[in-house]
Amino acid sequence: MQPILKLENISKAFPGVKALDHVEFELFPGEVHALLGENGAGKSTLIKIMTGIYQPDSGQILLDGHPIKIGNSAQAQGYGIAAIYQEPLVFPDLNVAENIFIGHRVKGAFVDWRKMYREADDILARLGVSLDARSQARGLTLAQQQTVEIAKALSLNARVLIMDEPTASLSAHEVEQLFNLTRVLRERGVAILFISHRMDEIFEIADRVTVFRDGQQISSKPIAEITRDGVIQDMVGRKLESFFARNEHEQGELMLSVRNLGKRGIFSDINFDIHRGEVLGFAGLVGAGRTDVGLALFGVEPADSGEIILKGSQQQIRSPEQAQALGIAYVTEDRRQLGLTLPMSIAANISLPSLRKYLSAVGIIRRKAEQATAENYRQRLSIRTPSIWQEAGKLSGGNQQKVVLSKWLNTEPQLLILDEPTRGIDVGAKAEVHHIIDQLAGQGMGIMLISSDLPEVLAMSDRILVMREGQQMGIFNREEATQEVVINAAMGQSRSDVKV
Amino acid sequence: MYRIRHYIRPEQIREFSLIFIIMLAVLFFGTQIDGYYSARTFNRIAASVAIITVLAAGQTLVILTRNIDLSIGSIVGFASYFAGQQLSANQDMHPLIAVGIAIGFGALLGSVNGLLVVYGRVPSIIVTLGTLAIYRGVLVDYAQAKTITTDMMPTWLVDLPRVNLFTVGEIEIRVMVGVAVLVVIAFQLCLTYLLLGRRLYAIGSNPDAARVAGLPARRIVLLAYILCGALAGLGGFMFLVRFGTITVSAGVGLELSAVAAAVVGGVNIFGGAGTMFGALFGAVVIGTLEQSLLRMPNVSEFVRDALLGLFILLAVASDAVILQQLRSLWARWAREARETPAAHSEKESGHAS
């Protein structure tokens, strides 16, 4: 049988990262093909190439054996390639039928409403769902919105449907309905690319499983030939790079205790301690709720239940201002949006949260002192820039990250929350950041290290807390935490199997 | 040559490009209006520019935070009417107290705007569009169609517009111009050297990052509105001084002149960038155009407004083109500076990569 879509020798590089490295991939009609891989394995890049959002650097795409170029999303649609995502892209102010037919070319100047509703009803009936074509998309559940997207794909005669973590925010019942829809599509001969982090789902729905790791295809087998352990082995089979080795140091007294921390619908029952000089790693898949715990501790999105006990006294942290006053600093995952004010200078960015320190008696900002601080950090963290008065937006990712670090170190925190501190920065800068983390812990700072880079968490942390879908799966000591143990917990091995 | 890029940024040159635009406008009007180049014309334009400058300064503070205040035309009207009424009732009032009343009254109205924007979480354009109408409506009701006239004012106020600070050749620099320049300098210093200034820029250029950095964003935005209201109050007092006669429609449309002045002066309408000097130059452009068009023979009121709009668009568009050219020039210089050392070793591959 000929594959509908075939990717040959596809490569795609971004500055500092090889996202896809000579990848081969085939999709056959009437199959559900699961794609597995850790964060950053190249799944998203592959999808974006298939839907025309990215162009491959090399290699070719074959549709029914003929080479094609997918220049943009519209062209992808034209070739019959559609995608639905975890967050459906519906227009809330339009009704279901309008959403289904939004991308179609309408013949003539007027919309034939009656025909449109008839066809929408028809498609929904074929999918076996009861959804009123005239109801507004606003107010539909996430699952219903996904159904609308699937109907849209069907109305476009899609032959390839990409489902990117469609089940991540659905209830068990809704997942079952989605799978029924998926089976309907499979019987109609649609090729489905299915991405999920839930092993059980893969085994339930997939016909074939392909594993990606570090931008390469590692294995591709029919479901009958694979085992759970084998898949996980393929996913993590990465050698621990020669990571910066932590220096041995004494752990100090208890600094932070978190008890039963929860935020409705986001995470619940989080319990951990951080001591002075300790690095507590937070591992898990993207969306597991690790960042949300960090944001709660820093008061950006406060928790609504549980206790935060800082140095023996219980605290209600309601705002970043307050968290800062308590000696907490948060280096955000989203450098460009939340971490830096890009048009402002490096010096102004560093002093921003602690500007009061730089006021003279009459309330004027002392530029000299500000400059001295910035120069100090420039040296300490080796920020490479011609001048500290340069715009922060002009720095490379690694140097921007060092500016964000400087900014928060300058508030002299006792607890430092690092959220993906090395994402998107090059290897050299990464090693430097690791060195800084080790130094800070050595000076007695408590550090919460959220990272999706598994070898990084394993190498840098004293203990590792693993989260999955807002739940704490366990805390592992340095000795017992291996890649397999952590991935297993992150992907939802039942709690009883995990040593806590 | 391209060393200068280290010392001057394109955005700084852009402010000077406005001077060029002003000169062009003045040359043009010189050919159209008899006796245009006279001290009288200068004084007329200067008095108008002074008021717009003060209002644009306030507007700039608000726009820097990614907000806008459309109500200042009504604040000007109300503050000038209120201050005028107090003065007519109490002729012996100390001048500074009279100014203080106008400023305080403006600040009060500004704080209402600020509270609604900050705590009501209504977009500022809606809030101030509402208060623009509300303040005017309340003024009409409060004034009961009475007009404040010059003969009700104390003599010092009537004489104030012609008080000279100093003379340059034939041109007299009067006290209103002095006040405007003082406001611009004072607030520019605030923006550059005070906590408030740094925070205004930070909030406007990245509100999310400012919040995460722990800045008291709400209080800062509120303060910006209060200051904008206070400056509108001062503008109202200047309005009273300039005209002496205050009806309930005093200051109608001034909000648009102020916003236009700020934007023409390079204040980013999306917040985070702009200076007081820019707003000053913008006010000079707007004031000059408004007052000169007023003197143009055979131009009706409606054509005048259309021409003013056209000129504003031209000013903003040419400004954008100039800025873009300058930026690409700077970028080219930076590139050349980078490539020069490498050129010796990799002459051929230098451009290919």
List the Cα angle B67/B70/B71 in 5-degree steps.
120
Quote the pLDDT of residue A244: 63
Quote the pLDDT of residue A241: 52
CATH number of the domain to which A105 belongs: 3.40.50.300
Quote the pLDDT of residue A246: 76
Average pLDDT, chain B: 87
Q: Cβ–Cβ contacts within 10 Å for residue B228, how many?
A: 32
Whether the predicted pLDDT of B342 surpasses 50? no
Residue A241 placed within a domain: no
Quote the pLDDT of residue B2: 54
**CB-based contact A344:B202 (threshold 8 Å):** yes
pLDDT tier for residue B332 given thresholds of 50, 70 and 90: confident
A348 touches chain B (CB under 8 A): yes
Residue A462 placed within a domain: yes
Beta strands A463-468 and A279-283, pairing class: parallel
Interface touch A320/B211, C-beta < 8 Å: yes
Q: Are residues A469 and A400 in the same domain?
A: yes
pLDDT in tens, A149-199: 888 888 888 999 999 888 877 777 888 888 998 999 999 999 999 998 778
Q: What is the length of chain A? A: 500
* Closest residue, chain B, to A349 (C-alpha): B202
- What are φ and ψ of residue B73, in 5° steps? -60, -40
B7 touches chain A (CB under 8 A): no
Query: Domain ranges in chain B?
Result: 16-27+37-323
Among A320, A344, A407, beta carbon nearest to B205: A344
Give the residue from A236, A267, A289 where a domain finishes.
Answer: A236
Contacts of B198 in chain A (CB under 8 A): 348, 352, 355, 365
Q: Are residues A217 and A271 in the same domain?
A: no
Residue A62 placed within a domain: yes
Whether the predicted pLDDT of B116 surpasses 50? yes
- Nearest C-alpha neighbor of A44 from the set A200, A195, A186, A157: A195
The token duo for A36 is 């597995």
Quote the pLDDT of residue A192: 95
* Cα–Cα dist A455/A441, whole Å: 19
- Give the amino acid at A4: I
The token duo for B273 is 């960038």
B193 touches chain A (CB under 8 A): yes
Quote the pLDDT of residue B224: 97
Interface touch A364/B194, C-beta < 8 Å: yes
Give the residue from A173, A202, A236 where a domain finishes.
Answer: A236
Q: Are residues A13 and A94 in the same domain?
A: yes
* Closest residue, chain A, to B201 (C-alpha): A344
Quote the pLDDT of residue B341: 56
Among B195, B201, B272, beta carbon nearest to A365: B195
Residue A246 placed within a domain: no
Quote the pLDDT of residue A238: 54
pLDDT tier for residue B272 given thresholds of 50, 70 and 90: confident
pLDDT in tens, B243-254: 988 999 999 999
**CB-based contact B119:B111 (threshold 8 Å):** no
The total domain count for chain A is: 2
Quote the pLDDT of residue A105: 55
Whether the predicted pLDDT of B283 surpasses 50? yes
Quote the pLDDT of residue B346: 39
A17: containing domain: 5-236
pLDDT tier for residue B34 given thresholds of 50, 70 and 90: confident
**CB-based contact B29:B37 (threshold 8 Å):** no
Residue with tokens 């693993």: A466
Quote the pLDDT of residue B304: 83
Q: Cβ–Cβ contacts within 10 Å for residue A122, how many?
A: 13
- Give the amino acid at A383: I
Q: Are residues A480 and A375 in the same domain?
A: yes
CA A435 to chain centre: 25
Q: Are residues A309 and A220 in the same domain?
A: no
Residue A258 placed within a domain: yes
Interface touch A344/B201, C-beta < 8 Å: yes
Pick from B64, B205, B208, B212 the residue to mutate for testing the A interface (most A CBs within 10 Å): B212
- Does the reported pTM lie above 0.90? no
Q: Which helix (H) or strand (E) holds B171?
A: strand B171-174
Task: Say what the alpha-carbon torsion angle B160, B165, B168, B171 is, to the nearest 10 degrees.
Answer: 0
Give the residue from A175, A208, A236 where a domain finishes.
Answer: A236
Whether the predicted pLDDT of B13 surpasses 90? no
- Contact map slice: A 274-333 vs B, CB within 8 A: 298, 300, 319-321, 323-324, 330, 332
Whether the predicted pLDDT of B344 surpasses 50? no
Q: Are residues A284 and A394 in the same domain?
A: yes
Q: Are residues A146 and A230 in the same domain?
A: yes
pLDDT in tens, A421-445: 887 777 677 888 888 899 899 999 9
Query: CB under 8 Å to A181, separation ≥6 — which residues?
Result: A127, A128, A129, A147, A150
Among A321, A363, A407, beta carbon nearest to B194: A363
Residue A247 placed within a domain: no
Residue A161 placed within a domain: yes
Q: Are residues A182 and A214 in the same domain?
A: yes
pLDDT in tens, A239-294: 545 556 677 777 789 999 999 999 998 899 999 999 999 999 999 887 788 999 99
The low-confidence residues of chain A, meaning pLDDT below 50, are: 240, 494-500
- Strands in A191-195's sheet, in edge-to-edge order, are A81-85, A160-164, A191-195, A32-36, A208-213, A216-222
pLDDT in tens, B143-163: 988 899 988 899 898 888 888
ipTM above 0.90, yes or no: no
Interface touch B202/A341, C-beta < 8 Å: yes
Q: Are residues A264 and A356 in the same domain?
A: yes
Interface touch B206/A353, C-beta < 8 Å: no
Interface touch B213/A320, C-beta < 8 Å: yes
The shortest C-alpha distance from B198 to chain A (Å) reads 8
Residue A57 placed within a domain: yes
Residue with tokens 């635009």: B21
**Statement: B16-27+37-323 belongs to CATH 3.30.2030:** no
Contacts of A344 in chain B (CB under 8 A): 201-202, 205
Contacts of B210 in chain A (CB under 8 A): 341, 352
* Closest residue, chain B, to A318 (C-alpha): B214
